[in-house]
Amino acid sequence: MTLDRSIALFMLLVCFLYGYSAWFVMDPTIPPFMARNPVWPSSFPKILAIGGAFFSILVLISPHKPKDDPDIDLSRISDYNYGQAIGLLALMVAYAFLLVPLGFLASTFLFLMLGSLALGERRWVAMILASGIASGGIWYLVQEVLGIFLRPLPALMGF
């Protein structure tokens, strides 16, 4: 079995477990006042499980065309950019720790800026615009549209 098919099989199993937990573990715990709502907390996990299972099955049943060169060359495993991956993981951890003290807008802006810088982007205007629009837009959607409180500014400012 090729690498892509073995990953697809693993993802199919993960999607089945995720879907099982969405249907049979989360749904019985829904409070009675939410039973008539059109969207439940388990709705998005159900969609993800169905979509993931669909695409995993698609990869599993698709005809396989062997290539001359594999996607991952294990003989050149030391040539890959581990620094970028480790840097992004460190940025994710720092983002999680700085979310409350710095607030959503500043921590998200810094995460997106430093993440794009770590991945090699050097167009400063594009990075600033994309980070600002994304962090402000996500904050607006979560805070104003969904009505979920999300601290926009640092905790020291008293907001």
pLDDT for 70 equals 58
Q: Examine the domain organization and report whether 51 and 13 are in the same domain.
A: yes
Q: Which domain holds residue 123?
A: 82-157
Q: Examine the domain organization and report whether 7 and 71 are in the same domain.
A: yes
Backbone angles phi, psi at 121, to 5 degrees: -75, 135
Total of domains in the chain? 2
Q: Examine the domain organization and report whether 10 and 71 are in the same domain.
A: yes
What are 84-123's pLDDT values in tens digits? 889 999 999 999 999 888 889 999 999 999 999 998 888 9
What are 26-50's pLDDT values in tens digits? 888 888 887 778 777 788 889 999 9
pLDDT for 114 equals 94
> What does the alpha-carbon distance between residue 5 and residue 59 come to, in Å, rounded to a whole number?
7
Listed residues 59, 75, 91: the one ending a domain: 75
Question: What's at 122, amino acid-wise?
Answer: R
Listed residues 75, 95, 116: the one ending a domain: 75
> What does the alpha-carbon distance between residue 49 and residue 117 come to, in Å, rounded to a whole number?
33
> What does the alpha-carbon distance between residue 114 and residue 121 come to, in Å, rounded to a whole number?
10
Question: What's at 103, amino acid-wise?
Answer: G
CA angle 35, 39, 42 (to 5 degrees): 85
Query: What value does the CA radius of gyration of the chain take, rounded to a whole number of Å?
Result: 21
What pTM was estimated for this model as a whole? 0.58
Q: Assess whether pLDDT exceeds 80 at residue 133.
A: yes
